[in-house]
Amino acid sequence: MNGKPMQRKKRTRVFANTVLEGVTAVDRPCGKVYNATVSIAQIAKGLKTSKLLYSPKYQRGFRRTAGDISEENYSVLYPITSTELNIDPKRAQAIAVKRLMGKLYTVNRTWNARAEEDGEAVTYDEPAGILTIQSVLTIPDSGHRHLGDFYLAEWKNNPDMVPNEVVVDGTPVAKAEILELLGKYEPEEDLVFVDIYNLSGVEEGKLYDEFNSDAKKPSNAVGIDLNPEKNPSRRFVYRMMEKSKIFAREEIECRSTTIGSLSRKLTTNATLEGAVRSETEWLARLEADETRHEDLIDFTCAFFEAWSDYFPEFKPGATAEDRNKLRKTSFALSNILFHPLLKLVFRLWSDPHLAGFRTWEKNNKWRSVVAKIAGKHPNVSGKVMDRTNPDWRGKILIETLDANRKIVWSLSSTRQTRESAYQYLCTIAGIPASPPPAHKRAQKSKAKRASAA
């Protein structure tokens, strides 16, 4: 000892700075919010090197299939590519392919430079437009878009990673087409805007809630009407609306998912689109043959023309009074019945013995099906579609308790009840309740591809 007092060493602080140039800022109640223009290549690099991380605690959390997740797991920051996170890779792949196809308009991403108690998370040189980030960067929103950015860069550098098929808005896009689009794509030149916040973890959670809960989404009907070309189910419905007087635009409610008590609208565009959505993949493949696709639309229109002979309330120009009266006495005009009816239409058209391509105009077998399900049946008192038909109980009518705890039968629209209604209509019609042959072939083909992969 030399008698000199020992000097305490200054604690070493470790920084892994991220420096962004060309940054602007605005003042908000939560502090400054910064904006930068960043390339997809830079975002993908940040994700790959874990400079950009995802917080399950303050965002979407984990997949249900991830098992029991401890509270400690929620506090850990994860790479966005982690398969445990509640982020759907297929949705992100679809976003990536939409970008390649020029169908993705969104250019916004969101980051948060996590505020820390033991020092500044960011420093901003406003005259120079330089933002230096000393803390960890997280993704409070736009998680699927970030994963889509990651795929774009990875696929460009490693074409073998491109999936054999990516479904975009219900339409399959083959690997060959994706590779062709990638050949013209440069991640370094693809720029997006990034908003960068400087919030604590708790405030980050509030920001996520603001982005995802406070904003009011348009009704499903409005979304469909504003973008009717988005997917095969929407395209099918709007082609039908163009061709059929029964489903003409003035007969269909396109701005609301419900029909007002004084409205004379037949049904909603959301009901029709929802009724054919389960056959989206089949419709997408059918669109490749325009002639057959148009023939299916023509047959669908003809089916409901025949249906309107039994229920004149379907005919164009029918009054609100007549349609509402039918709804009270029959399920023929109930929204739920459009699901099994349209599924039955596809079943009939796909079977050459019942309707068949280019034969249905002279084939009366499908008309006999309409007659059976629309009219009277030996085993049913009254018409099949009558609300008083007890066969609907346990199918689309389920037992519930009223205010006096008395058992009543209530209309229920679920996947199970709609399928039950379809099975019942097929039984009444005397035809097997099997899916359309073309649909079965598509399912087998899909299974075969999955097996080969």
Nearest to 149 by CA among 41, 73, 290: 41
Determine if the pTM surpasses 0.85: no
DSSP letter for each residue of 70-134? -HHHHHS-B-TT-TTBS--HHHHHHHHHHHHTT-----EEEEEE--BTTB-SEEEETTTTEEEE-
Structural contact between residues 54 and 82, judged by C-beta atoms closer than 8 angstroms? yes
Give me the pLDDT at residue 445, please.
47
**Residue 124 β-bridge partners:** 131
Structural contact between residues 338 and 236, judged by C-beta atoms closer than 8 angstroms? no
Maximum mean pLDDT: which of 59-63, 309-313, 447-451:
309-313
Query: Residue 112 and residue 199: Cα distance in Å, rounded?
Result: 6
Per-residue pLDDT of 117-139, as tens digits, reads: 776 889 999 999 999 999 999 99
Q: Which residue has the tokens 């602007």?
A: 24
**Residue 408 β-bridge partners:** 400
Q: Across the chain, how many H-helices and E-strands are there?
A: 16, 17
Give me the pLDDT at residue 146, please.
96
Question: Which segments within 387-432 are labelled E, that is strand?
Answer: 397-401, 407-411
Per-residue pLDDT of 218-270, as tens digits, reads: 789 999 999 999 999 999 999 999 999 999 999 999 999 999 888 999 999 99
In the predicted structure, residue 452 carries a pLDDT above the cut 70: no
Structural contact between residues 107 and 193, judged by C-beta atoms closer than 8 angstroms? yes
The contacts of residue 284 (CB under 8 Å, 6+ apart) are: 170, 171, 172, 231, 232
Q: Which two tokens stand for residue 442?
A: 């598509």
The more confident residue out of 434 and 112 is 112
Length of the chain, in residues: 453
Question: Which segments within 351-426 are labelled E, that is strand?
Answer: 376-377, 380-383, 397-401, 407-411
Mean pLDDT of 311-334: 97
In the predicted structure, residue 326 carries a pLDDT above the cut 50: yes
In the predicted structure, residue 66 carries a pLDDT above the cut 80: no
Give me the pLDDT at residue 380, please.
85
**Which of 55-69, 138-152, 163-177 has the least mean pLDDT?**
55-69
In the predicted structure, residue 177 carries a pLDDT above the cut 60: yes
**Which of 74-78, 160-164, 191-195, 330-334 has the least mean pLDDT?**
74-78
Per-residue pLDDT of 389-423, as tens digits, reads: 999 999 999 988 877 788 888 999 999 999 999 99
Q: How far is CA 225 from CA 218, 242, 251, 273, 378, in A?
A: 11, 13, 14, 11, 42
Type and span of the H or E element at 173: strand 171-174
Structural contact between residues 163 and 173, judged by C-beta atoms closer than 8 angstroms? no
Domain ranges within the chain, ordered by starting residue: 18-214, 220-452
Give me the pLDDT at residue 68, please.
67
DSSP at 219: P
Neighbours of 111 (CB within 10 A): 26
Query: Residue 86 and residue 450: Cα distance in Å, rounded?
Result: 23
In the predicted structure, residue 52 carries a pLDDT above the cut 90: yes
In the predicted structure, residue 337 carries a pLDDT above the cut 50: yes
In the predicted structure, residue 328 carries a pLDDT above the cut 50: yes
Q: Are strands 122-125 and 130-133 parallel, antiparallel or unpaired?
A: antiparallel
- Confidence grade of residue 67 (pLDDT, cut at 50, 70, 90): low
Nearest to 198 by CA among 26, 61, 13: 26
Percentage of the chain lying above the pLDDT 70 cut:
91
Q: Which two tokens stand for residue 185?
A: 């794509």
DSSP letter for each residue of 8-44? PPPPP-----EEE-S-EEEEETTEEEEEEEEEHHHHH
